[in-house]
Structure 1
Amino acid sequence: MNPRRLVLATLALAVALTLTACGGNDTDAPAKGSDKASATAQHSPSPSAPAADGGRPVIKLPSDVTHAFDWGTTGDPVKDAVLADTEQRIKAVDLAIAEQDPLHEAYRFYSEGTAAAGSQRYIQDFVDHKARTTGFTRFYDADVTVHEDGTAALVYCEDQSRAFNKFLETGKTDVTPVTKNSYVIYAATVRKNGNGVWVTERLSSQRGSATCRP
């Protein structure tokens, strides 16, 4: 049985995010690589993310959680900063899942608004199912558009074909077959905050996107 897949419907970066499922049933754990809307994330500090230089949290993932960001650099310092901070947000969500902390400091450092709220709910689903992510996830085909108002639009793809759910109580990894739904396209609105961090404010996604499938 495939694990439950929690994804966001892409509707031009809509603020209202909707939940869909692929495979499994309501008792299955959520799958890696997506968010789900909820109330705005609270701001109580997490004890598990020490600050690195510049106040950025240290993100140290379990050895079995790995990523590849195959979008290189653009040569534009602003666009490259957007991509770099997006990488950290993605890793920070997996860290929060691994540490079973829906209010983890790390992902809240890199996200605000509906994006932070969606991440909080997504992480909570893993906590509720006593599960975390495991395996390898690849991100690619990123496209950044910088706007004059200090925001940027980012679209990118994710390959989840080698990423799975691992249940903490049993240690079992739920290995699922590769289908078109293993490939997800994301659209994000990011903004440079007062600390110079490109935070994700809104995030939506579509599973099974033909744009991202090999």
Structure 2
Amino acid sequence: MNRRPTLLAALALTAAAALTLSACGSDEDSAAKDNDKIAGADTGGEKSASPSESAAASSDRPKIELPADVTYEFAWKKTGDPAKDAVLNDVEQRIKAVDMAIAEQDPLHDAYLFYSEGAAAAGSQKYIQEFVDHKARTTGLTRYYNEEVTLKGDGTAALLYCEDQSKAFNKFLETGKTDVTPVTKDAYVIYASTLRKNKSGVWVTERLTSQRGSAKCQP
């Protein structure tokens, strides 16, 4: 969606904290000013699982089903490191799960809660609720790029990435109208997140913050 500053002139997309340099981080950065709140910025996580605990529960993962007009381009490169690639995959699923919750107008959707907990989940719930309150959802193409994954010795992972919302917008359910707004530097958002592998082998987002207009993400 055009998770740009306006949704209904102010559907304060509040999905996480505006990156005070911790996008995708837990606390919604104070920088997540109402107009700066980004979709999908949530946090959550469980105790780390041992490396041997692979995603054996993959069959239990929620099925992501989105409207045909909600599309993505994940320009993330395979790192060649199974753990790092798993982090990227689970973040991708979390992002889609949040948009599915928005499309289905369900602030407590099991899908995004599968990939986030704590402050992250709370941030996503609030973000999704705003769409529900305005009877709106996302539409269009969102691109993700410039990813940087770091695995830490304490069993957590840090991920920085950019989001291009220039071709994503808000669509109102009652009228079917799409709110196409001008593209500005704020259509490019940087996220910083902390994740931890849970007992089921899923990389769950624990911290998430974001910041619009980041120089690192400009085209």
Q: TM-score, normalised by structure 2?
A: 0.82
Structure 1 residue ranges (4+ consecutive) displaced by more than 2 angstroms after TM superposition:
1-9, 11-16, 31-37
Contact 1:82–1:198 (8 Å) recurs in 2: yes
Contact 1:93–1:107 (8 Å) recurs in 2: yes
Paired AA for residue 142 in structure 1: E
Residue 16 of structure 1 is matched in structure 2 by 27
What aligned pairs does 1:170-181 form with structure 2 within 5 A after superposition? 170-181=175-186
Provide structure 1 residue ranges, at least 5 long, that are not aligned to the other structure: 24-30, 41-51
C-alpha RMSD over aligned residues? 2.2
Provide structure 2 residue ranges, at least 5 long, that are not aligned to the other structure: 45-56
Compare 148-157 and 53-62 and name the one that shifted more.
53-62
1:53 shift after superposition: 4.9
Contact 2:39–2:127 (8 Å) recurs in 1: no
CA distance in 2: counterparts of 1:21 and 1:15, whole angstroms: 17
Identify the match of residue 60 of structure 1 among 62, 65, 70. 65
SS in 2 for 1:102: coil
Residue 6 of structure 1 is matched in structure 2 by 13
CA distance in 1: counterparts of 2:42 and 2:85, whole angstroms: 27
1:2 shift after superposition: 4.6
SS in 1 for 2:216: coil
CA distance in 2: counterparts of 1:157 and 1:148, whole angstroms: 25
1:11 shift after superposition: 2.7
CA distance in 2: counterparts of 1:22 and 1:134, whole angstroms: 19
Cα–Cα, structure 1 residues 179 and 74, in superposed 2: closer, same or farther, change >3 Å? Answer: same
Identify the match of residue 166 of structure 1 among 171, 174, 178. 171
Q: TM-score, normalised by structure 1?
A: 0.84
CA distance in 2: counterparts of 1:36 and 1:191, whole angstroms: 14
Q: Encode CA deviations 1:141-184: one digit per residue, 9 max, x unaligned.
A: 11000011110000000000000000001110000111000000
Count of aligned positions? 194
